[in-house]
Structure 1
Amino acid sequence: MFLVHLWNYIRGYVIIIAKGDGIERFINICTRRQILLWDIARKDSDSVVMKASLRGFMLMRPAARKSGCRVRIIKKCGLPFFLHRFRRRRGFKVGLLFFAVLIVLFTSMIWEIEIRGCSRNVAQQIMKVLDDRDIGKGSFKIGLDPNRIAADILLNVDDVAWAGVQIQGVKMTISVQNIIPRPEVVDEDQYCSLVAERDGLITKIEVLAGTLKVKEGDTVTKGQLLVSGRLESQYPEFGTKNVHALGKITARTWYDIRVPLSYEHTKRIRTGRTHENTYIRILNMKIGLFGNRNAFDLYDSVSYDRTVSGPFNSEFPIGLTVEKQYEVTEKKVKLTAEEAEALALENARLALSKELSPDCRVLDERVNILKSETGDTCLELILECEEDIAGKEPLGGD
């Protein structure tokens, strides 16, 4: 129904009133001659208000004479009459033409890129592939081959097994399927043993190949042999056989670090003074407006975008970027004992987290405050963990 009203508005129509005793005959004659009338409403006993197209109004005069009715236009509606009012205004015509060209231009470009079915890391790799080929927001759809783009993604992104690219309107949708991780292939011809990668207390043993040299509850040191890759027979005359040792040796391990306590801390304090810089954003370009500057020697900044939204939740590739600067000053402040310990503990945890293996599980955490003979105070952090400590070591000899 909306499209019918839109089409009538584009073609133009008139609201008319027909008066006379033969109104029903007038409507019947128009219907037989395929003159479209709609929104017919009786005004009184001898008059009816209705709508008709411009062409239909020109063809209904014979029907009016034959039925003895008088037809008069009440109102002219639609795009032709709207444009007729501005026929002598050149600026309006130029603006309308510019607007039409702008609409055609924008509908020929990619405004939005959506990537589905993958992790953030893979999505970043896909965006890099698109950037290398100058494909992004603002790229023209003409010349873009979805099959070629999908092939480039498959060739340049390792973790993608399948990729599909679809362009609908101003949106490009990239759907991908990640590769199922390939299981580790063991080369049985590379003989090795398993040794401890760090000190620990063994809590669980799983051996798939090799000769076990330790048992649960044993304390081992770094480099100690856990599973030998040399199989020995019960009968000496059969000799030995070398294998690729396989297994998982879970042990409790300990990590510790000492961080000196500092009772002074440099703090950034906002003064309350602010300054805003505004940029016009067109596609991937930012154009600074007059008056943009770094107003302060030392400041924190926060940026946010204001995007022009279109129909159907789409976004135009134009907008504003506002950067707000907050003036700050650096001031050394005295810390209480609790604040100094909390800051040192945070730094200690951050430092130890870089040493832990991905499969390491923290079981317990102990914090000690120590004082040296010179009077310096430090915080000691000890983590009790559980992890696989088995590491491969090539087996010498045949």
Structure 2
Amino acid sequence: MPNPNSEYARSDSESVLERWGVKYFHRLSGKLNKERENKALDASLFDDSIRHFLSVLITDYAAIIAFCIGAATTIPTVLVEWFYFDSLDFYAYIFLQLGVALLSLIIELTLLFWLGLKTVHSIACLSHSQPAESDPLLPGNDTVANLLARAALELPDPVIRYLGIDPLKYVSKPKLLIIGLLYKAKVILTSVAVKFLLTRMGGKLGLRSSFSWIAIPITGIWDAIVIYKVVREARLRIFGHSLVQYISQEILTQKVMDNLSTQAQEGAIRAIATMMVLAQNHHPNMLMLIYRFNSCFNLDQQGDYDDWPLFLALLEQLPAEERFFLLDLLCLAAAFDGHLSKMEKQELPKAFGDYTAVYMQRIEYLKNHLLNGELVAAQSLCQLNFRPDNQ
């Protein structure tokens, strides 16, 4: 069998911040393991309704704390505006305001990073994902802890080259550059802009008694939105990992693999690879899915796995049952990153044909179940049973 790691390449190594987040996850997971030894927590006891309720509760609680962090760290800049705008000369005031804003930003980011890591780990406790363990579902040296640390700290995922698949083949280089620059600058641009520009505008308009204080709730609301997005992405990764584990252990059995022709096995790799390309990202859920399937099949390594027209042509050559198997898998891969891109919406009907409405609805249901932590309901949509009705 080909070594699945032989076609793996990562664009960059772990950043210092990612390594710090991974170590923190390991420490939290060590404490959790001790609690589980004392039967203080057992994720297998959670059904969908309890898991969904707890994940929403944890998310809302984190958003409230994030609001308080953003509001509290904005107060110093407003007070500087309130007390020193008229009493200091312009350059002294700007120097003081920027210094206070920078210190507040450092405190704010430190607290938000801590909150993100704690919250994401709490969500992970609701699933069977173990952030401290090495992971057989990921190529190279990536682990669940790495995936969650990047989500919690809002770090971009590295560009992964696996089996010659280029998830960014349809994304222009100028667009990639702009996205990269905005990603790196967004924290400073959003936080400092709110803290400094609003208070400065309030001073210029002579509305310091009211307008400058708006920066406090606005920053709090922004931080709450940011932490909500962080936890949403983490939930997608955590529950996506659990779902890949389920597919690996319960669905992709030896009997299923023996019933698939070599063409269908190749089509399975192509189904996931083409969704990575049409989604225009390298979401770790998709990477886990394709890595697991490639580990099971004894295929000769070849290129063009991410060629959509070749996948469509291969579909036409397969018997009905194997074609439905690939369409089911295509449905899974499309839902695993939590949204449908414009290209996916345009191209998927070409594969689904007369069953477009059925499969598009299943994608929407599966996506929502993943985000809500409804693993049992999500598992029911991942049977890969060679029939379009999924029953």
More strand by share: 1
* Higher relative contact order structure (alpha carbons within 8 Å, sequence separation ≥ 6): 2
Q: Same fold (TM over 0.5)?
A: no
Q: Give TM-score scaled by structure 2 length.
A: 0.19
Which structure has the larger Rg over C-alpha atoms? 1
More helix by share: 2
